[in-house]
Amino acid sequence: MAHRKGRPPRERLTHQVPTDAWQRTAPRIARELGDLAEHHRAESIVLCRHLDDVWVSGVLVNRFPAVLRSRVTVVDDDSLSTPESVGPTFLEEHVGRVLEGCLSAADERQLEDFLAQRARHPHRSEGVAAAVSALQRGQAGSLLLTRRARLPERVWLGSAPSQIALSAAELEAFGVTPPQEEPADAALLYAAHRTGAELVVPPPDRVPSADGVGVLLRYQDASGR
């Protein structure tokens, strides 16, 4: 099953092939799957197989081009007795389990850039305060927010996209009246969207921050902040 994260496949092909014809048929099926993966720009291919079908799946995977083989994840399940048992619910369950916590290639690159930035400037990269500061300056290229992020209960917003702060007093000091109190997660997403920052949701263990929040900067401003 070819799958682009966040976008379900629009086509489904079903083949029933006799075992003695598999060696001849597998290359054609591999080409069809390859065409689907290329058309949908699939980043992952999840292959569900019965525990007795190791040879069958191996033949198919070996017919993929090398660039496609690197995207294949094999899921073993001994409940697969007939083609009919591989229904949408089964596929959604297994594909969801495999892709949970996975990042797209673009998000992986941003996470790598964040980790490199953090090694040089941890105080500008880690935590809610760093993220808010970058959003205030329109400097946030990407907001990294893990599913286990520990956010403050509230954040304050003004009318402009960059008017976000951890306290009402901070915005009032800049002449924003009256600041609007909002749930922190919604406020951060709103400010990120309005200032053009991307959202990356990495697994918690990939972001070495005490609160599970990070920010990848677009650039370093003249003040070195």
Break the chain into its structural domains and give their ranges: 2-99, 105-217
pTM of the predicted structure, to 2 decimals: 0.57
* Mean pLDDT of the 187-215 span: 88
Q: State the DSSP code for 207.
A: S
Q: Which fold has domain 2-99?
A: Nucleotidyltransferase; domain 5 (3.30.420)
**Which residue do the tokens 């953090």 mark?**
118
Look at residue 32 in the predicted model and tell me its pLDDT. 87
**Check: CATH 3.30.1330 for 105-217?**
yes
In this prediction, residue 205 carries a pLDDT of 82
Residue 66 has what pLDDT?
Answer: 81
Tens-digit pLDDT profile for residues 108-120: 888 999 999 999 9
Is residue 194 exposed (0-12), middle (13-18) or buried (19+ Cβ within 10 Å)?
Answer: middle
Distance CA 206, CA 118 (A): 12
In 151-202, DSSP assigns E strands to 154-157, 164-165, 180-183, 198-200
Cis peptide bond N-terminal to 65, omega within 30: no
Rounded mean pLDDT, 24-47: 83
- Mean per-residue pLDDT of the chain: 80
Tens-digit pLDDT profile for residues 200-209: 888 888 887 8
